[in-house]
Chains A and B, each alone.
Chain A
Amino acid sequence: MKKASLIVTILFVLSLTLAACAPAAPATEAPVVATEAPVVATDVPAATEAPIEDVTLTVWTLNSRNAGITAILDGFMAAYPNITLEVSYNDAAPHRDGLRIAATSGTLPSIWMNWGGTLGGYYAQNNLSYDLTEYAAANNWSAKFEQAAIDLSTLDGQLAGYPSALSVVGVIYRKDVFERLGITIPETLEELEAACATIKADGLNPISTASGADGYHVMRIVEQLIETYAGPELHDAINTYKEPFNSLAVVQALDKYKEFVDNGYFNEGFVSAGATDAPTKLYSGTDSVMVVEGQWFETNAKKAEIDTTAFGFFPFPSGGTKRMSAFVEMYQFNANLSDAELDAAVKFMDYYYSKEAVAAEPANYKFPLPMTGIADIPEANVITKAMVEAAAAGGTFTIGDQAFPTEVAQVLFSVQDEIALGTMSPVEGAAAVQEAIDTYLANK
């Protein structure tokens, strides 16, 4: 009888003691965004001297950036002793959700990582992110960054963030299988289909894709088919609502997608496979042979100790210049930053992506860098180089799930699934997406 209450009491006391000695922050911790008024209001944004006052910046970014930022954090704070950084890391989905919650409650941090397109556009549209257009003009950012990065980071007419990554998507394939089966790199859609048929006859899986928790992986293929049938101008017009989604070209693309599914050119059960597993199916050499993936494939394979010389790349044979789908990542700044804080934020980003930092730990960075003149793509990253060169030569278009708002993208994902499962025809599918677009535009 007494033992239980004794235990409860001991635990109680213990917990209180722990609470007393815990290094937990005191209850008077400052709110998330630093709100000191700047002592010196500089009108010239390009201040070359360090600001006089102390500045604290909160940074929210992804877990995958942990290594990179931790590596430069000490050096940065030593170089700029008046700037304090508090960095918080999260997984992609909680990061996105967390930003939304913070946006609605007014607790956004000083700097946060975000993607381009409609994801970052929400913050630009609602005046939550700092419009860097003026700052960029005053500081000659058009020479500092690749034009593509600036363009893709310009959302809703504003420069919505500091570009931090530029990614391009293409077809990665296993060179050994292609060689063994005598397949040459497909230059047209028909050749790609023929290659798939050959691979399938050999008993391997032609293309690895996934539509499990999110349909963006399958969408990479569907949008390339749209590019093939619509051509660049019509595709861009569709992505900006100037032409309807249920144009004939899109229906043809969805028809072809259905053909691929029915012919068994995708891995079985891809509809519920995980997108992060899709590229890994190429690692063994006895499973899948092709995957539509971004240049990160190479660095991830290297991290998993897979020999990347086994892989090659070719742009999706969509005809014409074979444009590749592309997207940016950026770090957005809080619209409420004071001039001193803005200066500090830019200093941080510059330091993070400085020549020295990149040269010291190239593995922590995603190549190609959106900044010019900082670092070349490491020699070892053969595939990345090839993809970037192809993108520069052939041009790019904005990736679908960033061109369209999330609610429209989700309808497209579910349409992809239904067409694959045979419960919806391509014509119905295109119409469903168009309906979602109409609803979205009407509600704006």
Chain B
Amino acid sequence: MKKRINKVFFYVALFAIAAIWFTPILTIILTSLKSQADFFSGSTLFQLPTKIHWENFVEAVKVGNLFTYMRNGLIVSFIKVPLGILVEALAAFAITRLSVKYKTAIFIYFLFGMMLPMQISLVPINIMFKHLQLHNTYLGLCYAYIAFGTGFGILVLRGFFNAIPREIDEAAKIDGCNKFQLLTKIILPISKPAIATLFIIDFLGTWNEFLLASVIINKTNLKTVPTGLMSFIGEYTINYGVMSAGVLISIIPVLLVFLFFQRYFVEGLSGAVKQ
């Protein structure tokens, strides 16, 4: 009987928190269905509009060129994130399990990149890219993204690699694995939750990144999603309805990535240890 009551309490508490959480989300969804006139007619946030304005979504895509920007975002994200994770995994592996000297110092060196405020980096990177003629190239953009992302990636992967018991390394060595195989056949599979997390966070970060993209990419047909969303902010007005609709459309890939990868938050270490 106690279990039942606990369960009820649990769900009640969960729904209560969820309700508080929900208000801004509801605002965005309702706003995306309202026209400008609805929005300014003095109706409160909760009133449903008299007519549902699906055309907000159409306009977001058409005027905001949203599909082009989303396609560009997908290209950039799907190049940067796997490559970045690969580079970071190699480095994190080195500073946790190989015989590299000054492990902590090297780690701190990479951590530094997380601390640099991006706004200050814009001018020197712009000058550098001008000389290297890397403006308006995804090569340049992804390279810069990977560079700035190594700090966080190594931080996360190092943490998770450290949590894996060393006995596994010994067992693998006995089995005849070399270092590279240790990484790819043993460590990486065990670190699925970590890699999944990193993929989710990194993908989202790349998808929503604005500052560096705005400096490196100037050609309209190469721009990424955040730029597209900005186009609804006029000089003297903000088209709230279309902007909300645009945001809701643009986060679909991100939510899909999350849904796909969050299943890895169930496997535990215990399974691998038994091997």
Contact = CB atoms under 8 A, between A and B. Distances in A.
Contacts of B140: 27
- Interface size classification for chain B: 35 or more
B79 A19 contact: yes
Given A25-B136, A87-B220, A107-B135, A12 B41 contact: no
Contact of B79 (A18, A31, A66): A18
Interface stretch (B13-21, B120-128, B149-157, B170-178): B120-128
Given A4-B195, A91-B233, A101-B123, A29 B136 contact: yes
B134 A15 contact: no
A303 interface: yes
A384 to B, nearest CB: 14
Contact of B214 (A64, A98, A283, A305): A98
Contact of B138 (A24, A30, A64, A98): A24
Interface string B112-135: 000000000011001100100111
B231 A91 contact: yes
Contact of A101 (B122, B185, B220, B233): B122
Given A31-B130, A286-B42, A91 B230 contact: yes
B75 interface: yes
A32 B135 contact: yes
Contact of B219 (A86, A101, A283): A86
Interface in B186-245: 188-189, 192, 195, 210, 214-215, 218-222, 227, 230-238
Given A105-B127, A306-B40, A63 B230 contact: yes
Contacts of B252: none
B85 interface: yes
A41 interface: no
B137 A98 contact: no
A300 interface: yes
A1 interface: yes
Contacts of B39: 304
B220 A88 contact: yes
A94 interface: yes
Contacts of A11: 78, 81-82
A246 to B, nearest CB: 32
B250 interface: no
A27 B216 CA distance: 12
Contact of B231 (A1, A63, A305): A63
Contacts of A436: none
Contact of A24 (B137, B195, B214, B236): B137
A39 to B, nearest CB: 24
B96 interface: no
- Interface size classification for chain A: 35 or more
A74 to B, nearest CB: 15
Contacts of A14: 78
Contacts, number: 150
A88 B79 contact: no
A283 B123 CA distance: 43
Given A86-B219, A89-B220, A27 B36 contact: no
B51 to A, nearest CB: 12
B139 interface: yes
Contact of B236 (A89, A94, A296): A296
Contacts of B85: 8
Q: Is the contact region of chain A dominated by helix, strand, or loop, or is it mixed?
A: mixed
A4 B79 contact: no
A87 B222 CA distance: 12
B230 A94 contact: yes
A346 B78 CA distance: 42
Interface in A30-82: 30-32, 58, 60, 62-64, 66
Contacts of A23: 221
A305 B51 CA distance: 15
A287 B136 CA distance: 47
B35 interface: yes
A5 interface: yes
A276 interface: yes
A104 interface: yes
Contacts of A304: 36-37, 39-40, 237
B122 to A, nearest CB: 5
Contacts of B238: 274, 276
Nearest to B119: A97
A2 B189 contact: yes
Contacts of B123: 101, 104-105
Interface string A141-172: 00000000000000000000000000000000
A92 interface: yes
A279 B210 CA distance: 29
Which of B233, B235, B238 has the most chain A CB within a 10 Å cutoff?
B235
Nearest to A16: B79
A137 interface: no
B86 interface: yes
Interface in A287-320: 287, 294, 296-297, 300, 303-306
19 contacts: A1-B185, A4-B189, A15-B82, A18-B74, A22-B75, A24-B75, A27-B133, A27-B134, A28-B133, A63-B230, A98-B215, A101-B122, A106-B130, A276-B234, A276-B236, A294-B236, A305-B35, A305-B36, A306-B37
Given A27-B140, A105-B123, 11 more contacts: A1-B185, A11-B82, A18-B79, A24-B222, A63-B232, A66-B231, A86-B218, A91-B230, A300-B237, A304-B37, A305-B35
Which 7 residue pairs of A and B lie closest in terms of their CB atoms, listed nearest first?
A284-B42, A304-B36, A1-B189, A283-B40, A105-B126, A15-B78, A91-B230
